[in-house]
Amino acid sequence: MAGFFSLLRRLYLTAYNFTLFVGWFQVLYIVLKTLKESGHESIYHAAEKPLLFAQTAAVLEILHGIVGLVRSPVTATLPQIGSRLLLAWGILWSFPVVKTNLNFFSLFCFLQSSLLLQLQIICSFFFGLKEAFGSAPSWLLWLRYSTFLVLYPTGISSEVGLIYIAFPFIKASEKYCIRMPNKWNFSFDYFCAANVVLGIYVPGSPHMYSYMLAQRKKALSKSKSRVASC
């Protein structure tokens, strides 16, 4: 029975990663096609729907950690997925005017971090297949645990930059704000919340990067140990 559930788990995770792989491949295709035909100004508008799908589907990674399908702790997965969802839905989708104010650098960093995430998903997909049907090659393991070295700095830079660009539009619109008095006796200011989130990046970014470096070192050390024992 345990073997059956283990096989079921692998099949599900393979299907999940394949779905994300297809979604991100579509984003990549649209980005390159639009860049060639229309220029960078039209990229985000063209890729928005598949990008939102791919980013939102990653919410399941949090659930995977909660139920134990993967070993990744929820405390590490939640801030990573949460920040991307904030940018995708809470900034770019909620305030369309931000998209028209993106400079090339901000757009490039945002899309680069998204497309580098695709590389991680591709590695996870093929790594899962290799693990299911045999041992995974060391180069694939290295690639899986090394793409974040580029992804994190560019991704964090784009996230911070996009939130900062959105500040005046968030403040002026008062969207998602709850003002008192109301029957819940509760107030919420989205602009203040965005400032708090931006402040969390200061201690949070080095902490997450250090955590990922430690995970990388641990995974690659295990791989070297297995190779040496063979």
Locate 41 and state its tokens. Answer: 């100004």
CA-wise closest residue to 80 among 113, 47, 125: 113
Segments making up each domain of the chain, as ranges: 2-229
Is 41 labeled as catalytic in the residue annotation? no
Beta partners for residue 178, in sequence order: 188
pLDDT truncated to tens, each residue of the chain (230 aa)? 667 777 788 888 888 888 887 888 888 788 788 878 887 777 778 888 888 888 898 889 889 889 888 877 888 888 888 888 888 899 989 988 877 666 555 566 556 655 666 666 666 656 655 555 555 667 777 877 787 787 778 778 878 888 888 999 999 998 999 998 888 889 999 999 999 999 999 888 898 889 889 988 887 887 666 655 55
pTM of the model: 0.80
Q: Which of 61, 145, 152, 174 is catalytic?
A: 152
Q: Which of 16, 44, 61, 159 is catalytic?
A: 159
Is 152 labeled as catalytic in the residue annotation? yes
